[in-house]
Structure 1
């Protein structure tokens, strides 16, 4: 009996010791998509956070190769109860996790810390992660589509950079003028293949269009705005635009081999560093083709997935730091994404002076009033719809199908998956 008692007491002490160890050193598992523009920022944020919170460790899981892959990994993990504690989710796919009750609402955490205003969370930015009247995600890195231009190539062709065109027809015509096969220079490139059909949505929304009807039961990709978006892509193909993946197009622009480059502002940090002083480049707004035209906000947002009440306290500290003034300053200085935290933007020592000295970054900030959500398709086929749309777009970009041929087909296929 004494031996049993000693065993029970020892087991109790060991259990108590293990409990204290867990409380003293909490490890948070974090998943984000493999994005060269944010990886360095995540690492620096991790280092700063752990220094300020010695009892909490951040463990980055193997990065997914895209937001879609990250979502697929989460959905598979949910089946066996194996989920990360924090996910930096593509803004167009937040809904896919909220609809499946995998995400934790953050309202209570925000209110307990004094509310959104005290934390510096812009109301417009918070709307990006708001569903069912709750905050499920706080934007971490936000981008807009922009036009990046090699000013040296413009001037060499006798074009005044202050008179750069503000519409696609003139821009594509200028691109044809700047084509120089002998020097391997492409005059114009539109980065159409960015994840989640984001650049295609930019064309559609800038024309005043939408993906689905207001009740989300009917596909509207063949609306006048949708047709115009496809016709714009077709005009790029007819002008001889090559079909380059991001992994090739972005280095080509940095090497001075693309004159006019429609891309995400998220690439500004890497482009600025890669270009250095080899040539002058300048950014211009993405053309709005309608008075009610809008642009989808790109990027990702931090979501809490752990349902463990104790771990949630540590997870919220991390999310609050990453989306707070310091975390957002680190993120913005490493990338071309702009922050969602107003304290970071308005404090001179953080990002206030930085943006004043970086005119190329100001283009994206000036487009904030035109932003709308990066559309997320409803239902279990949301990811499949993204792939189907991409296949149709590639056929147009490569000249295999016309806009007229594609409009009805793309709408039909999306409608079928909605049902």
Structure 2
């Protein structure tokens, strides 16, 4: 008997050891499994960082095969699926991570992101709530919950979440960027600009941050600053159709219609289903007097977005200019049906109906505009002319006087002169269209 056995026997351990399993035999294999799973997991993380998403999924699969309760591997596999554009596959992986670890805040967060990708906002909101409950100091969870709330129209609640994210991380560019959008929606444009400035400060290489600031600058009338931001966004991300659209609009406003249309052409080349780009390009052709070129752009915009009321309105203007007044009247009617608050469509239809000799219906359209917008000088002017055409000079003069007063208040001197000329004609017992 060797020395070790002798010692064991002296302590009466011989029978005990003989009747016990030998954990020392199984421990090395378990350790090998753990090390192997960890190696595959680390490899997957490297592949994920390199954007080799399919390879990363294979590595995480191998880690999970060796260690079926590896919650982190399920989480990272879900992230890889999500980045491949497969949020449904991602959700299945996150479900497994949560099953293994029910208090895994990151798994709830990323599952919430995946639910957002498939527009299941109720499930996304529940997951972000749970992530925050598990980790109240989780800034990105507040950001994403704010995004969901904004999408649900709960914009003020969204701002509260972005505020909290910024309190937790004062350099969180994404939080500033989303709060900028929320402030803009609420009508706080200057506050929106300040937040966009912060977003650009902390994310200087973010094309989206520059684009969004350009959008706000444009709304504030800061055309040159908007142009600079759109240029920067395009420099950072050349295939950015929204930034090309924004720059095109600014170029057109500054008289560079050729450059503007070139930007719209490029935006459409990048995204053949970009309804807004077709509509805006149609508007540009319309303003240039290229009515026949405008119509196919409006056609395409309407095909892509059948409820696009301003595209119907633009096509109506182009049709009217080409002499198709019946077609124009139909398009204006469709625009009004889609959006009864589209004042310009009501005025356009009133003018079209006047041209078609349907004066009573035209009168109703102009009256509708005045009821909705009592300071709409054009509606008073057109209705005044129509009253004169119908021989109702008293009402004609009342409307023309009101139109003239509003035009003066609005600084529209050319239109005011037209009113004066029309009033002189009415006083002599006949009216002419200006």
TM-score, scaled relative to structure 1:
0.25
Larger Rg: 2
Greater per-residue strand proportion? 1
